[in-house]
Amino acid sequence: MKTAYIMQKEIKESILTPKGFLWYNLTSVILSVLSYLFLTNSELSLLDQGEMLYMIMNFITALGVLIGLVFGADSFAGEIERGTIEALFLSPANKTEITMGKLGAALTNWGIIFIISLPYLFVVGKGGQNLLTGIAYLAILGTLLVITFSAFSMGLSARIKSMKNSLIISFFIFLLAGSPIFLSAAQRKTWFGNILDLINPFADAINTFDSVVIDSQGFSYQIGRVAIICGYTFLSLWFLKRSASRLEM
């Protein structure tokens, strides 16, 4: 129950504020522009529905991960810098309850972004193959990735105790994680691209989207990549638990 109250506080603080609304409006605007371009631009509109769906799914996942990292970086370090965490630690809520409340709020954030993106996914992917399967994979893998990156960023925030440094490292991690998007198809086939693809949970997610939406491959083809993402999720949660339990003033 204490977790629920802390989560409610976090949601009010981070989501139901002008800052929160800015993120969501920005999400809507960018998705609107992307969808409009996909449907009207003469070159982009030559892509089949599956390709368009795949591209917009990548973007939504990247946005969810980015916002999760930003909110995670603020979670502990922000409270320490604002001097509010001591009162929270003085309450009978233990560190696990506080951490779960904060992580729950990060997930709520992803939930809102996912709901905002649904109409765009339906418009862009309408008439194409694997639309619903793609959305289901986005919901599951997106959630796992947001947990992974938010938990990592929160753990970092608890260890470093500096919002600025947590943010810088989180952005660096985001750039590394998002590198498959920034690399061209040729670069991704080099040894560097292959290594990144292998160890990067974000790359595993987008390769899964590719396989499911464009190549129409079944779950048996995805098991390896999904398992790697799950592994990263557990690793991040472990890191968060360890960092939060060691957090001292």
Partner 1 sequence: MIISVENLVKKYNGYTALDGLNFTVEDGDIFGFLGPNGAGKTTTIRILTAMIKADSGNVLVDGHDVVKEPLAVKRIINALPESNGYYEWMTAYEYLEFFSNLYEEKASKQDIHKLLEVVGLHGKEGHLIRSYSRGMKQRLGIARALINRPKLLFLDEPTNGLDPKGRRDIHDLLIDLNQKHSTTIFLSTHLLDDVERLCNRIAIINYGKIVRTGELDRIKGKGTIEDIFFMSTKEGAL
Nearest distance in Å: CB 219, partner 1: 42
Nearest distance in Å: CB 19, partner 1: 10
Query: What's the rounded Cα separation, in Å, for the pair 93 and 2?
Result: 6
For partner 1, the closer of residues 28 and 94 by Cβ is: 94
Nearest distance in Å: CB 87, partner 1: 6
- Site residues (vs partner 1, CB under 8 A): 1-2, 5-6, 9, 12-13, 17, 79, 82-87, 89-94, 248-249
Burial of 23 per CB tally in 10 Å (0-12, 13-18, 19+): buried
Smallest CA-to-CA distance from 154 within 229, 76, 85 is with 76
Q: Quick check: 169 and 70 in contact, CB under 8 A?
A: no
What is the token pair recorded at 8? 């409610």
For partner 1, the closer of residues 8 and 129 by Cβ is: 8
For partner 1, the closer of residues 162 and 217 by Cβ is: 162
Nearest distance in Å: CB 83, partner 1: 3
Nearest distance in Å: CB 8, partner 1: 8
DSSP label of 1? -
96 vs 7, 128, 242, 243, CA distance in Å? 12, 44, 10, 11
For partner 1, the closer of residues 90 and 185 by Cβ is: 90
For partner 1, the closer of residues 87 and 185 by Cβ is: 87
